[in-house]
Amino acid sequence: MCQNMTVQVEFKGEKTVQIAESQTLLEASLAAGIPHYHACGGKGECTTCRVLVLQGAEQLSEINSCERMVREVRKLPDNVRLACQTNVKGEGVQVHRLIKDDTDRYIFLNGAPEDGSEAIGKRRKMALFFIDIRNFTPFMEANLPFDVIHIMRRIITLFRNAIEHYGGKIIDTAGDGVYAVFGLDTNIKMATESAVFAGIKILEDVKIFNNTYMRAYFNHFFEVGIGVHVGQVIYGNVGIGLNNSLSVMGFPVNVAARLQAATKELNNSFVISEAAYGMLRNPPYSVRTAKINLKGVSNAFEVMLIGKPYEYAAAAAKVE
């Protein structure tokens, strides 16, 4: 771009502005009347001027040392730039202001995630993992509240240790179940294998826990149901300062939850989708297959049964 020439930059949903080579994105947007947040006055310290780059990243100036420093601290993703530190070299740039009001500001700045993820949605292929304790209700009804909570904590800890051992991340715990994902920073094949290994480890660990603890002290044993599916999901941090939890959502998540629920009707402790099975380098040799129906999907969905039939067959059929 010649010294005095200007190019256009589109601020998505707001306006298209003229920008000179000497101007930063922030200066150009302010000059065009956009109420662009810039709490530190454009010194590259506050990150309130951050923009999501939707198009034309190659037309933006290199990241300078000031921006680099603050990017590392705030863990900004590659597609986010500081408008006050960024110039534009050519046409075709489209950006989206991320902080437009005080609520945005609160969400982005007070909700700085601890796990390196940003409060910006991203798409990624992941392995989705759901696990549920099959026969917890009768235990709960027959025991003291203290014991119920204590045993629940022991089992959830057992789940967590296996999931984290294989690089998974727990997204949610609800009642006597856990939802976890694998593949936040590995490829989908590795993620799927890890999810399956974690499931197998949990099945073994629950068996040991039953034999060494539950049967001896409570004359009871637990079984679990695990469902694993893979697919493209959206993830991002939706905590608003209260809870910086990561959310992972999308249709494949619903499918994985449905597979976990199907462990009851299929009388098998570990059900994975055909797609997940196809990702395994060394899949189990002899597996039963089955078809289940999914809400909103006309064709029956093929699944592989890689666990074991329930000892409490009657309990497995019962809706808890």
Contact status: 24 vs ligand FES (CB under 6 A): no
Contact status: 38 vs ligand FES (CB under 6 A): yes
Contact status: 40 vs ligand FES (CB under 6 A): yes
Least distance from ligand FES to the Cβ atom of residue 47, Å = 5
CB nearer to ligand FES: pick between 48 and 273: 48
Contact status: 39 vs ligand FES (CB under 6 A): yes
CB nearer to ligand FES: pick between 42 and 227: 42
Q: Which of 42, 56, 183, 252 binds ligand FES (CB under 6 A)?
A: 42
Contact status: 44 vs ligand FES (CB under 6 A): yes
Least distance from ligand FES to the Cβ atom of residue 67, Å = 8
76-135 residues in contact with ligand FES (CB under 6 A) are 82, 84
Contact status: 268 vs ligand FES (CB under 6 A): no
The closest alpha carbon to 154, from 208, 195, 101, belongs to 208
Least distance from ligand FES to the Cβ atom of residue 83, Å = 6
**What is the binding site for ligand FES (CB under 6 A)?**
38-40, 42-49, 82, 84
